[in-house]
Amino acid sequence: MIPPKSAMRIGCAALLALLVPTDPARAGETLAAVAANFTEAAKEIGTAFADATGHTVSYSFGPTGQIYTQITQGAPFELFLAADQARPERAEAEGYAVPGARFTYAVGQLVLWSPDPARVAGRDALAAPDLTHIAIANPRTAPYGAAAVEVMRALGVYDALAPKLVEGKSISQAHQFVATGNAEVGFVALSQIVGHDAGSRWAVPQEMYTPIRQDAVLLAAGADSAAAKAYLAFLQGPEARAIIARYGYGTGD
C-alpha cells in the first residue's frame, strides 16, 4: 500500500508531467474528424502513425454531413476524413479547408449482407418473398445509401423494394439494423463486416454504382499543424494503405 501522502505526491507529479510538453517540435497532436465507416481502420492507422512519427492523433467519429455542419460552425478539427467527395470539395470551396491538399484515401465497397448464412447467395436475395425489411443508409446524406439506391435501380427492383427499405442515419446504423436481425438484409460497407466470417454476402460489382470515393482534406484549423500534415502524408504512404486495404477499402490512385 502506498501511504496517502506519497500517493498524492505521485499524482501531482503525474499531473505536472502532463502539463509540461516534452518536445513540442517532435510530438505534436492533431484532431481529425472521421467518417463513421472508417472508425476501425482509422484507429489502427492512428496507432501506426504514433509509432512511426511520434505525433498523436485524436479522432471524432460521426456522420459526414454532421461533421461538415460542425466544421462550418467552428469545430476545432484539423483534418477531415469524409465518407464522400462532396463535403471535402465544398469545404475547400467555402474556405474551411486548405486548398490543394485534397485526395482520395479510400474507396468504399458496397456489400449486400445478412447474418443468416443461407440468405444471400447473390442479387436474387433481394427477390426473396419472406424479405420484410432491407436496411440502407440514408441515401440523401450517406454515399453508401445513395449507392444502394443506384444498385437497386440498376437491377430494376427499386420501385418494388421501396416499401421494404428502412433507413439508418448512417451506414453504421444500417449495419446495426441487420446485425440485430430487425432487417433481414442490408446494404452495408465491406469494411463493417470484413473481420467476420459469419453470415452471407454479395459483393456488389463496382460497375453498378458510382465509386464511393472518400476524400481527406486539411482544414483551416490545421493549416499550421505539423502533426496534421504528417498525418496526411502518412495516410498516403504504404503502411497506411496496407491497413486501409485490409479493412475492405480500395485505395484509389
Partner 1 sequence: MAEGALLDAAMIETIMLTLKLATVTTVVLLLVGTPLAWWLARSRGLWKDVVATVVALPIVLPPTVLGFYLLIAMGPDSPLTALLGRKLSFTFEGLVVGSVVYSLPFVVNPIRNAFEAMGPRPMEVAATLRASPLDAFFTVALPLALPGLFTGAILGFAHTVGEFGVVLMIGGGIPGVTKVLSVTIFDYVETLQWAKAHILAGGMLAMSFVVILAMMLAERRLKKARR
Binding site for partner 1 (CB under 8 A): 63, 65-66, 68-69, 132-133, 135, 138, 140-141, 165-169, 173, 176-177, 180-183
The nearer residue to partner 1, 174 or 243, going by C-beta atoms, is 174
CA 6 to chain centroid: 45
The nearer residue to partner 1, 43 or 169, going by C-beta atoms, is 169
> Residue type for 220, please?
A
The nearer residue to partner 1, 63 or 88, going by C-beta atoms, is 63
Smallest separation, CB 178 to partner 1 (Å): 11
The nearer residue to partner 1, 151 or 165, going by C-beta atoms, is 165
The torsion angle over the Cα atoms of residues 124, 119, 181 and 42, rounded to 10 degrees, is: -80
Smallest separation, CB 138 to partner 1 (Å): 7
Smallest separation, CB 132 to partner 1 (Å): 7
Smallest separation, CB 41 to partner 1 (Å): 23
Strand 185-189 to strand 134-137: parallel, antiparallel, or no bridges (unpaired)?
parallel
The nearer residue to partner 1, 41 or 83, going by C-beta atoms, is 83
Smallest separation, CB 187 to partner 1 (Å): 14
| Residues near 79 by beta carbon (within 8 Å), at least 6 away in sequence | 30, 31, 32, 33, 57, 216, 217, 218, 219, 222, 228, 231, 232
Alpha-carbon distance of 165 to 120, in angstroms, equals: 17
C-alpha cell of residue 147: 449507392
Alpha-carbon distance of 188 to 177, in angstroms, equals: 10
Could you tell me the strand order of the sheet in which 79-81 lies? Answer: 56-62, 29-35, 79-81, 212-218, 103-108
